[in-house]
């Protein structure tokens, strides 16, 4: 068998498996907030800068509007974000955090530290991993 086709020689597999594992580690922390992992990512962006268009969110999260729209509708139903059409261009939907969504931020501040603890890796290891993955994404 060609060594290039062995699973153990693939870069994609450990990245894929780690991504799944990381998402699973987030689950108990996010369950306390009533958020899914993709919803948490949206909230991280909105807590940083409250108003974002759907297109801006999609660019930052590497997601298309077809994937984001149902996710954002569920978040609006939970009362944590508002979706409003731009007055300048009604094709543009602006997403903003509600008061309920803003209150979640305080509960979420402990999540990064809990995740680092759950991973059992050093901050240096995690920063190195982040830099490598970010470099690959920005190619």
Enter the pTM of the model. 0.89
Residue span of the structural domain in which 67 resides? 24-108
Is 15 among the domain residues?
Answer: no
Residue 98 neighbours by CB distance under 10 Å: 16
Number of domains in the chain: 1
Residue 75 lies in a domain: yes
Confidence at residue 132, expressed as pLDDT on a 0 to 100 scale? 94
Q: 55-82: per-residue pLDDT in tens?
A: 999 999 999 989 999 999 999 999 999 9
Long-range contacts of 37-41 (CB under 8 A, 24+ apart): 38/63, 38/71, 39/71, 39/74, 39/75, 40/108, 40/111
89 found inside a domain: yes
């Amino acid at each position: 068998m060609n060594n290039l086709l062995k699973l153990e020689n693939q870069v994609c597999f450990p990245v894929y498996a780690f991504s799944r594992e990381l998402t699973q580690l987030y689950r108990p922390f996010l369950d306390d907030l009533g958020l899914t992992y993709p919803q948490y990512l949206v909230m991280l962006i909105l807590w940083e800068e409250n108003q974002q268009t759907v297109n801006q969110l999609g660019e930052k999260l590497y997601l298309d509007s077809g994937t984001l729209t149902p996710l954002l509708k569920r978040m609006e139903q939970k009362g944590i974000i508002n979706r409003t059409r731009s007055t300048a261009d009604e094709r543009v939907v602006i997403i903003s955090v509600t008061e309920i969504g803003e209150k979640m931020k305080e509960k979420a501040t402990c999540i990064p530290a809990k995740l680092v603890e759950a991973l059992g890796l050093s901050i240096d290891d995690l920063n190195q991993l982040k830099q490598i993955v970010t470099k690959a994404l920005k190619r």
